[in-house]
Amino acid sequence: MLPVLTYEPLDPATVNNPYPALAALREQAPVSWHDGMSSWLVTRYADCTAVLRDHTVFARDRRRTGQAVPAASLSVQSLDPPDQAGVRSLFMNALRAQDLPGLEARARTRATGLLREAAEHPSFEAMAELAAPLSLSVVCDLLGVDEPPLAEFAAASDAIMRSMDGGLDPALVEPGRKAREELTTLVDSWFTDTGRPSGLLAHVRAHTPPGAGQAEELFVRNTARVMFQGGYSTTTAAIGNALHTLTTHPQAQEQLRTDPRAVPAAAEELVRFDGPVQGTSRTATQASTIAGIPIPAGDPVVLLFAAANRDPARFPHPDQLLLDRRDNRHLGYGWGTHSCIGTRAAQAALRATLDALRTHPTPILPAGTARRQPSATMRTFAALPATLHP
């Protein structure tokens, strides 16, 4: 008999391991209405990519369905083509102009140093002492800005990240709004007096069309804030998830430690297997169908990347971690017009982490109970105790 369908993203058992509930949904009700989330949930890979391809019908920009979007939230992430095109290509071109191999080498040096420091203690907190400082270094290096104090920034970033679950818990909305305001002040300063002459934001500043109006300038600054905070929080989460997966899959870690060529494919497989971004949302601008299920105009649709990335119709043996998996076009970095702008930098950060782990004299092992952050949107750890002492 098939298990009873319940998907409660904030239920502690689901936060701990969402994959059985997502598999049940994918098998029994691949496109289904969720009362708690007031959205359609889409779980199959083919259906998720079909929706992401069709940005005419499935909008990211909620203004297209008559909803208000605060000015502070208008960025590359919330606009749709054609409004999105200018700001997206401005940032994509700026990323292409960066020395990413140099960024990866500096990230490797930083990760190696953090591991050495961690090894001086019997155990360490892998999120606070490795994933978070490394991600902050990488993102600030990429943008070309000075690193803010980690603890303060991490608290603001967590409030923003948690506010993405505001639909499920309205108490999370206001702290997120306040934190966004704080970061806006910092990001605005990069466009005035403290901007460095090199790095991604210098390129953005130099290539923003001289005739850009106030609206375009706002999109640019808000996008810089998304790159900074979103890039930091997803990269921190991705590194933490990868470390956890390796500590719980000792054979995979051993394979990585003995074969340097395994690193690039492993960096992809770790994001497919347990990536940070659980899904994304769109709104139907007109009556439509997904896999034959009628979707009324105005209904929100949540595409569950975490379910699609384990769809057996797309990935053979989806629940197995196969570090050398081929044809691994997972949805961990999204798809289409809103796919992750920072993918190449994020991949570099993950490869740098894996390289540093591989060359550290001892493997990384669990050193206590890991604790997940209770979040429906971002899969990450609140605590990840580890040791480098076998």
Binding site for ligand HEM (CB under 6 A): 76-77, 88, 139, 142, 226-227, 230-231, 234-235, 238, 271, 275-277, 280, 332-334, 338-342, 345-346
CA distance 92 to 304: 25
Of 14 and 234, nearer to ligand HEM (C-beta) is 234
For the bound state, the minimum distance from the C-beta of residue 201 to ligand HEM, rounded and expressed in Å, comes to 11
Give min distance, CB of 2 to ligand HEM, in A.
30
CA 339 to mean position of chain CA atoms: 10
The minimum distance between CB 39 and ligand HEM, in angstroms, equals 14
Say how far apart CA 389 and CA 365 lie, in whole Å: 8
Cα–Cα distance, 90 to 97 (Å, whole number): 11
Taking the complex as a whole, the smallest distance from the CB of residue 163 to ligand HEM amounts, in Å, to 15
CB nearer to ligand HEM: give 26 or 282: 282
Quick one: 203 or 367, whose CB is closer to ligand HEM? 203
**Nearer to ligand HEM among residue 123 and residue 184 (C-beta):** 184
Q: Pick the closest to residue 296 from 65, 79, 43 (CA basis).
A: 65
Mapped onto helix, strand or coil, the DSSP state of residue 163 is helix
Contact 178, 274 (CB under 8 A): no
Nearest distance in Å: CB 265, ligand HEM: 15
Nearest distance, CB of residue 135 and ligand HEM, angstroms: 8
- In angstroms, give the least distance from the CB of 277 to ligand HEM: 4
Whole-angstrom Cα distance, residue 222 to residue 74?
7
Q: In what order do the strands lie in the sheet with 39-42?
A: 31-34, 39-42, 300-303, 280-284, 58-59
- State the minimum distance, in angstroms, from the CB of residue 309 to ligand HEM: 10
Q: Return all residues near 282 (Cβ < 8 A) that are at least 6 apart.
A: 51, 52, 58, 59, 60, 300, 301, 303
Contact 22, 304 (CB under 8 A): yes
Nearer to ligand HEM, 168 or 340 (CB): 340
Beta 288-290 vs 293-295: how paired, if at all?
A: antiparallel
The two structure tokens encoding residue 386:
């580890």
- Residue number of the CB closest to ligand HEM reads 342
Nearest Cα residue to 18 out of 382, 377, 346, 280: 377
Is the CB of 179 or the CB of 345 nearer to ligand HEM?
345
- Which CB sits closer to ligand HEM, 253 or 353? 353
Residue 28 burial (CB count, 10 A): 13
Specify the residue, 72 or 365, whose C-beta has the smaller distance to ligand HEM: 72
